Chain A
Amino acid sequence: DQQVKQNSPSLSVQEGRISILNCDYTNSMFDYFLWYKKYPAEGPTFLISISSIKDKNEDGRFTVFLNKSAKHLSLHIVPSQPGDSAVYFCAAKTGTASKLTFGTGTRLQVTL
C-alpha cells in the first residue's frame, strides 16, 4: 500500500516557466514532508521541507505548499532552469520516527 504517491512519472517544462510537482499521501499521522532531488548516478539530495503546522515554505525558486485537508503537497519551481532537470522524490515522516516514506518520484525535464 503506497502511503506516498506521485502520480506523474514525468513532466516536461520550458525554461523560465513554472514547474509544479505533486504528491499525495494517505497516512494522516504524517506531520513532516520533504522533497529530494536526484541526478543520475548520484544519491538524492535534500531540497526543501515543510512541517504540518505550516501551509507554505519558500526557499529561493522553490516553494512547497501543503494542503492537509486534501492530504496533498506540491513543489513549485519558478523560474525553471535546465539544471533543475532531475528526478524529484516526495517523502513523509511522523513526528516521533526518523524513517522516511518516499514516493515513486517524478522526472522533470526542463527544455530550452
Chain B
Amino acid sequence: NAGVTQTPKFQVLKTGQSMTLQCAQDMNHEYMSWYRQDPGMGLRLIHYSVGAGITDQGEVPNGYNVSRSTTEDFPLRLLSAAPSQTSVYFCASSYASSRSYNEQFFGPGTRLTVL
C-alpha cells in the first residue's frame, strides 16, 4: 500500500494564480481531509469528506474548494492564490467514525509559497 500520497511536494505560485493540490489514498478510507500547518497555529482543518460526493467545510475553508468524485481522490483547489495561503498542506484519511477507531493517516505534505 502506498498509503496517502500528495503531489506536488513543493509549489511556488504568484498572487492570483490557481492550482490544485492532489491527494490520493489506497486504503479504502471513507473519510478524507485537508489541513494546513502554520507556525504557532498547529494543524487547522480546511475541508473534509465523509464519502464520495459528500464534502463539508472545516475551520479555515475560505479560498479553497474541494470535490470527492471517487473514494480514492480528494483534490484541493486554490481559486486565486494569496500570500496568506503560504503554508504546508497535509491530506489525511481514515475509516469513518462508526468503526472502533479512526486513526488518521497523513500524507507527506505540500509546501506552498505564494509570492
Contact B43 A98 (CB under 8 A): no
User: In this assembly, does A33 line the interface, its C-beta being within 8 Å of a C-beta of chain B?
Assistant: no
Question: Of A46, A100, A104, which contacts B40 at CB under 8 A?
Answer: A104
Stretch from A13-21, A58-66, A68-76, A89-97 that touches the partner = A89-97
Q: How far is the CA of A43 from the CA of B105 in the complex (A)?
A: 9
Contact B42 A89 (CB under 8 A): yes
Main secondary structure of the interface of A (DSSP, over half): loop
Q: How far is the CB of B12 from chain A (nearest CB, A)?
A: 17
The number of chain A residues touching the other chain, given as a range, is 20 to 34
Excluding A43-B90, A98-B31, 11 further A-B contacts by CB distance (< 8 Å) are A43-B4, A43-B108, A46-B103, A49-B103, A91-B43, A98-B96, A99-B33, A100-B104, A102-B42, A104-B40, A104-B41
Residues of B within 8 A of A (CB): 4, 30-31, 33, 35, 40-45, 48, 50, 58, 90, 92, 94, 96-97, 101-109
Residues of A within 8 A of B (CB): 6, 9, 34, 36, 41-46, 49, 89, 91, 93, 95-105
